[in-house]
Amino acid sequence: MRRRLFLFKFIILAFFQLSLTFVEAAPPLKIASYNIQYDNIKDTVNTWAKRLPGVVSLFNKYQFDVVGAQEPYLAQLNDLMPKIPDYAYIGVNILGGTDILKRHYTPILYKKDKFDVLDWGTFWFSETPDTPGKGWDAHSARICTWAKFKEKRSDKAFFFFNIHFDHKGIIARRESPKLLLAKIKEIAVSYPVFTMGDFNTNQHTENYKTMNESGVVKDSYHIAKKMLNREIPTFNGYRAELKGSNRIDHIYVSLNPEIKIKSYRILTDSYKGIYPSDHFPVLIEAELP
């Protein structure tokens, strides 16, 4: 009897340990930020028609799970989405609509089979964030697209904030990170958070410190266990020779709950001799708490 009881306990323990092994072996999430430059008709060298296959190639090669993109027009999204059928996107243009072909979006692209969208919305970086329009001294209207996702495999929920800050307005660049942090606290409450985008400010500025030293989020660059291409700029300007190490595209993650970062990479892939955008994608592999 004792022998049978011991054998039963052994089997239960072995099964439990095996279950833990499978949980721990689950692949990390591949989260990316990518400024896919708008279709600039004045740039006859790096046209969208030439760049589109390169963008598709990046999605196929790296199999991103969720991507925060910046700048693309609806016309570009209409070209891109049929070529990456595993993905869907959410978002509106900077005017708050979805019916104008040539207006900037800040869309979130995600794998349809891996995630459910529980909620999503948009706010503007301005004194009136719920109303479309320019804020402070900004050059143009700037938005954040946010979403609450549930990972189907694990039933874990997390928030995703995708932004594009202004590149000129001094006040706008100072106030936008403050508003973003306030919105994260208001919307995400106690959930894990990914916050990424084109911040148009590098890691040596006060605006960057507002985010990175907030105690709310931390730049994944500083907490990743594994790094690749860490000393190159994220803005390439379609130049073959890269100078400096300024990063204006960042992926921040929440500190409480803590998201563990397995790896951080700046992807420098080119396609048939040109870069698919004037920015490089930033990719992290992350484990949800």
Split the chain (289 residues) into runs of 10 and give each run's mean pLDDT.
52 53 70 98 96 98 98 98 98 97 98 98 98 97 98 97 97 98 97 98 97 98 95 94 92 98 97 96 97
Q: Among residues 32, 11, 13, 15, which one has the least CA distance to residue 284?
A: 32
> How many domains are there within the chain?
1
Count of residues making up the chain: 289
Kindly state whether residue 35 falls inside one of the protein's structural domains.
yes
Residue 209 sits in a domain of what CATH number? 3.60.10.10
Residue 21 within a domain? no
Ramachandran sector of residue 58 (left: φ over 0; alpha: ψ -120 to 50; beta: rest): alpha
For position 59, what pLDDT does the model report? 98
Task: Please check whether residue 66 lies inside any domain of the structure.
Answer: yes
18 domain residue, yes or no: no
- 214: region left, alpha or beta (phi > 0 left; psi from -120 to 50 alpha): alpha
- Which stretches of 91-245 are assigned E, i.e. beta strand? 108-111, 115-124, 143-151, 157-164, 193-198, 217-219, 226-228
Instruction: Yes or no: say if 103 and 74 are a contact pair by the CB < 8 Å rule.
Output: yes
The number of helices, as runs of H, and strands, as runs of E, in the chain is: 5, 13
For residue 242, what pLDDT is reported? 87
Residue 10 belongs to a domain: no
pLDDT of residue 56: 98
What global pTM score does this model have? 0.91
Check residue 16 and give its pLDDT: 53
State the residue range of the domain holding 123.
30-287
Q: Domain for residue 6, yes or no?
A: no
22: in domain: no
Look at strands 108-111 and 66-70 and give their pairing: antiparallel
CA diameter of the chain = 84
Report the pLDDT value the prediction gives residue 22, as an integer from 0 to 100: 46
Query: For position 1, what pLDDT does the model report?
Result: 52
State the DSSP code for 273.
Answer: T
Q: Tell me whether residue 2 is in a domain.
A: no
